[in-house]
């Protein structure tokens, strides 16, 4: 069973309503930091990074979150946090 330990949803003020979802997921052998991004209600890209420890996964999660929400980032898409959850939620990937 996979357990979502933390998740954040971001939105950008963009004509296509860009979004970015980020999560830390506990799996048997370690942790996944998983992202989904897209526009409107359509997921256009999924990616996941494996980390052996929760600390390593949290560091990557925080780094990505900082980069996406940095108001001085070079990209024209400036993301804001619309929801955050922490705790244990079961999921099927």
* Rounded Cα gap, residues 82 and 65, in angstroms: 12
- Per-residue confidence at 89, pLDDT binned at 50, 70, 90? low
Q: Is residue 75 part of a domain?
A: yes
pTM, two decimals, is 0.88
| Per-residue pLDDT tens over the stretch 22-59 | 999 999 999 999 999 999 999 999 999 999 999 999 99
Q: Is residue 90 part of a domain?
A: no
* Rounded Cα gap, residues 4 and 50, in angstroms: 14
Q: Is residue 93 part of a domain?
A: no
Range of the domain at 67: 2-85
Q: Is residue 38 part of a domain?
A: yes
Higher pLDDT, 48 or 86: 48
- Per-residue confidence at 65, pLDDT binned at 50, 70, 90? very high
The count of domains in the chain is 1
Contact predicate 20/35, CB 8 Å: yes
What does the pLDDT average to over 59-75?
95
Q: Is residue 78 part of a domain?
A: yes
Token pair for 77? 């898409």
Closest CA to 25 of 35, 14, 15, 16: 35
How much of the chain, in percent, has pLDDT values that exceed 70?
Answer: 92
Look at residue 90 in the predicted model and tell me its pLDDT: 58
Phi, psi of 44 (to 5 degrees): -105, -20
């Amino acid at each position: 069973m996979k357990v979502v330990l933390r998740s954040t949803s971001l939105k950008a003020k963009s004509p296509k309503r860009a979004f970015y979802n980020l999560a830390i997921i506990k799996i048997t052998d370690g942790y996944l930091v998983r992202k989904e991004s897209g526009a409107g209600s359509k997921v256009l890209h999924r990616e996941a990074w494996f980390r052996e420890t929760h600390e390593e996964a949290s560091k990557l999660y925080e780094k990505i979150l900082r980069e996406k929400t940095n108001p001085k980032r070079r990209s024209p898409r400036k993301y804001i946090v619309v929801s955050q959850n922490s705790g244990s939620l079961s999921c099927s990937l």
